[in-house]
Amino acid sequence: MKQETEIQHIIDTYASTLFRTAFALLKNRDDAEDAVQETLLRYLRKAPEFASPTHEKAWLLRVIINLCKNHLTSCWFRRRTDLSVEIPALEAEERLLLEAVLKLPQSYRSVIHLHYYEGYSVNEISQLLQYPVSTVTTRLSRARKRLALLLKGEDLLV
């Protein structure tokens, strides 16, 4: 079992990154908070030892991405309907960009989020998502094109 100081360090250091990643994938604040909580619980239960902070962050991101994927494919999730919620804290331009990103398919949202919001390189995203580098590159390119069309006001069949 991890000591309280280690646990607090993980929460202070990675909670916002984990939340942003989950929110980008799930598009729902409550589900994202649940995913963060479950990720932290798994960290407590497994008590992994890491060679570096980079490995620690990668492990936490891998866990939360897997949890989000599981949630998105669950029968319960496919049958529910979300309430429309505004994001009031963002400026109009940021809100438009976030709304456009959230309209993208999950596979495009994840690479966009990891590349632009978390600052990972294509190679690092490839390792995190366990996809070939060419797949990540292709998804980033296609996501950028779709975002450009969405921001121009052209509606896509996503």
Return the closest-CA partner of residue 106 out of 146, 76, 133. Answer: 146
The answer to whether residue 16 scores a pLDDT higher than 80 is yes
pLDDT tens digits, 48-75: 888 888 888 889 999 999 999 888 887 7
Model pLDDT for residues 97-145, shown as the tens digit of each residue:
777 888 888 889 889 988 888 888 999 999 888 889 999 999 999 999 9
87-158 carries CATH number 1.10.10.10? yes
Characterise 20 by phi-psi region: left (phi > 0), alpha (psi -120 to 50), beta (else): alpha
Each domain of the chain, given as residue ranges in start order, spans 1-85, 87-158
Name the residue with tokens 């896509």. Answer: 156
CATH number belonging to domain 1-85: 1.10.1740
The band of 2, judged by pLDDT with boundaries at 50, 70 and 90, is low
> What is the rounded distance in angstroms from the CA atom of residue 131 to the CA atom of residue 15?
25
